[in-house]
Amino acid sequence: MNKDDQSSLQLATFAGGCFWCMVTPFEELPGIHGIVSGYTGGHIVNPTYEEVCSETTGHAEAVQITYDPELFPYRKLLDIFWRSVDPTDGEGQFHDRGSSYRPAIFYHDDKQREEAQASKDELQLSGRFHQPIAVTIEPASEFYPAEEYHQDYHQKNPLRYKYYRHGSGRDAFLQQHWNTPKDKEELRKRLTPMQFEVTQNKGTEPPFRNEFYNNTEPGLYVDIVSGEPLFSSRDQFDAGCGWPSFSQPLHGGSIQEHQDFSHGMFRVEVRSREADSHLGHVFDDGPKPGGLRYCINSASLRFIPKDQLEKEGYGKYLSEI
């Protein structure tokens, strides 16, 4: 990115409880150039994690996001924020209690303040939550990056992060409140019948009669629902099975794996991390050295040709193609 491009970048700052859990919803999306975990909103200069946890500094754990508003507008960041927190709990988030875990939107200019207030009002009027929306909207103040071991914690300690996140109750709450029949119907309007059946109902499209099973063009595959980057064409190979096959996910790709005992078989299901879309399954009959075959439904994917990556905000993946 050149200097002129950097001048167009903006900051967004959100507090939503444990900052470990507020990084993953935003990362790897087009137009997101950086996410830093830290502390803000208090009165102590350069606080430590221990000081913030003592509830004496006034600071909240928060994330500060550097983004390109042309590729990822602030309103879309707000939408992700609301879908990542319990907006009715102003005393903390899930099992983390106290003001350092309070949810807040810290605006950097009047436009952000107006958009944040409008989105909060819309959520309150939507009827999705029966209690008042307790998230505060506050002017941004000095942001202090947290200690290095807190940065990208989910990558450094993936098992502990997953255990913590699940145990906190965050995922169960979000699944309950953001995967309603109404949400499904809205998604149905955006997707084709096959895309909806595959991603939402764990369906399987016909072999050899799908969009990307024999694609040879260089590019990036992203989640059809969320745009999360998943696979590179560099890792695609012809497995002869009639579905797109990959030897590995994209480095840092947004996938998760689950045990699948459906249809009287044991398989490993592959899903996207944030949208939780069903993608396909992974088998151990792929090419060496890894020996894996990620057998993925075309209907769960959107393909972005290599020459369009910069334009669509995925330029950082050019070296992976």
Question: Choosing from 18, 21, 53, 241, which is the catalytic residue?
Answer: 18
Strands, E assignment, the chain:
10-16, 32-40, 60-67, 92-93, 96-97, 103-107, 136-139, 144-145, 219-223, 229-232, 236-237, 245-246, 255-260, 267-272, 278-283, 293-296, 301-305
Q: Is 295 a catalytic residue?
A: yes
Tokens 């980057």 correspond to: 229
Rounded distance between C-alpha atoms, residue 246 and residue 38, angstroms: 37
Q: Which of 20, 9, 123 is nearest to 72 (CA)?
A: 9
Q: Going by C-beta distance under 8 Å and a sequence separation of 6 or more, which residues neighbour residue 159?
A: none
Number of H helices, E strands in the chain: 9, 17
Q: What is the DSSP letter of 319?
A: G
Tell me phi and psi for residue 223, to 5 degrees: -65, 130
Other C-beta atoms lying within 10 Å of the C-beta of residue 41: 24
Q: Is 18 a catalytic residue?
A: yes
Are 41 and 62 within 8 A, CB to CB? yes
Tell me phi and psi for residue 182, to 5 degrees: -65, -40
Are 280 and 243 within 8 A, CB to CB? yes
Question: Choosing from 21, 53, 241, 295, which is the catalytic residue?
Answer: 295
Are 305 and 232 within 8 A, CB to CB? no
Rounded distance between C-alpha atoms, residue 224 and residue 242, angstroms: 19
Token readout for 312 is: 């669509």
Alpha-carbon 70 to chain mean position = 19
Q: Is the dihedral of CA 133, 38, 23, 64 positive or negative?
A: positive
- Residues with a catalytic annotation lie at 18, 295
